[in-house]
Amino acid sequence: MRVPFLNLKAEYESLKEDIDKEIHDVLDSGYFVLGEKVKEFEKEFAEYLGAARVVTVNSGTSALYLAVRALNIGHGDEVITTANTFVATCEAIAMTGATPRLVDALPETYNMDPKRLKSAINSKTKALMPVHLYGLPADMEEIMGIASEFGIPVIEDAAQAHGAECVVYGKTMKVGTIGDLGCFSFYPSKNLGCYGEGGAVVTNSDELAAKVEMLRDHGQEKKHLHTEIGGNFRIMAVQGAVLNVKLKRLDEFN
């Protein structure tokens, strides 16, 4: 008997009544990009994580890219990340014009080796990007200590680690809330997945959140005033509706 690794149809059947209602609410509203369902999810996900702000975008890759952009990183800069990760981690860095600098992983965890990380820092290093691979948190206490020592911001790639926790300086924290910015993917196969593409940037900085919000909507600071080159990174309202339902079951699914 073949047992599938993932059965999204079965998951949908277990949530069908609630998801169908949420989707119909979106259709009835006539508002299909961003909107109230997205705002509701951003608020609820921020509360779940214990973070100040969540800004949803159209993919996890976009979340990583916009997080790097929010720190004004670009050509001539380097971002240190782990060699053992999905290509989107490096892709997002390279899309800004910066260079991904790779450090090897620990054989015990397959996550970034903090000692190798420290030795890789140089004058071009503008951010550190640990990855919580397979939902297993990287050694954030060590990484945050190194970041503090060198005064370098941290972007967490938490694409597949929704709800994962680790202890940092005696405090239990959810990944994605420990660094300056955290990035999640809501690709359908994730433990918190929407019905299409989706992602989010998490931060405790109102300034960084505002920058990400501006960049996700063509660099629009206010209506018809575009002060930077951004792009169309907005999430669809129906994805917010789906995520609202599934967030309530995340701990159970995990």
Give me the pLDDT at residue 55, please: 98
Residue at 129 is within a domain: yes
Does the CA dihedral 244-50-181-115 come out positive or negative? Answer: negative
Question: Residue 231's CB: how many other CB atoms inside 10 A?
Answer: 16
- Strand ranges inside the chain, DSSP E: 53-57, 78-82, 99-103, 125-129, 155-157, 165-168, 171-174, 181-185, 199-203, 220-222, 225-226
Q: Mean per-residue pLDDT for 189-206?
A: 96
Q: Mean per-residue pLDDT for 29-44?
A: 94
Q: Mean per-residue pLDDT for 137-143?
A: 97
DSSP class of 14: H
Across 83-109, b (16+ Cβ under 10 Å) vs e yields ebbeebbbebbeebebbbbbbebbeee
Q: By residue range, what is the domain housing residue 64?
A: 8-253
Residue at 242 is within a domain: yes
Give me the pLDDT at residue 47, please: 98
Confidence of residue 1 (pLDDT cuts 50, 70, 90): confident
Residue at 93 is within a domain: yes
Residue at 34 is within a domain: yes
CB 168 within 8 A of CB 137: no
CB 68 within 8 A of CB 155: yes
Q: Are strands 125-129 and 78-82 parallel, antiparallel or unpaired?
A: parallel
Give me the pLDDT at residue 181, please: 99
Q: What's the predicted TM-score (pTM) here?
A: 0.94
Give me the pLDDT at residue 6, please: 82
Residue at 3 is within a domain: no
pLDDT tens-place string over residues 4-36: 788 888 899 999 999 999 999 999 998 899 999
CA atoms within 13 A on the CB side of 101: 19
pLDDT tens-place string over residues 199-254: 999 999 999 999 999 999 999 988 899 999 999 999 999 999 999 999 999 999 88
What is the token pair recorded at 177?
Answer: 């809330």
Return d(Cα 4, Cα 230) in angstroms, integer: 40
Residue at 185 is within a domain: yes
Give me the pLDDT at residue 207, please: 97
Q: Mean per-residue pLDDT for 35-47?
A: 97
Give me the pLDDT at residue 73, please: 98
pLDDT tens-place string over residues 58-98: 999 999 999 999 999 999 999 999 999 999 999 999 999 99
Sorted by sequence, the CB contacts under 8 Å of residue 36 that are 6+ apart come out as 29, 237
20 or 2: which carries more pLDDT confidence?
20
CB 133 within 8 A of CB 110: yes
CATH code of the domain in which 184 resides: 3.40.640.10
Give me the pLDDT at residue 7, please: 87
**What is the three-state SS of 83-128?**
CCCCHHHHHHHHHCCCEEEEECECCCCCCECHHHHHHHCCCCEEEE
Q: Are strands 181-185 and 199-203 parallel, antiparallel or unpaired?
A: antiparallel
Look over the chain and give the mean of its residue pLDDT values, rounded to a whole number: 95
Residue at 214 is within a domain: yes
Give me the pLDDT at residue 144, please: 97
Residue at 184 is within a domain: yes
Number of domains in the chain: 1
Identify the helix (H) or strand (E) that includes residue 244: helix 237-247
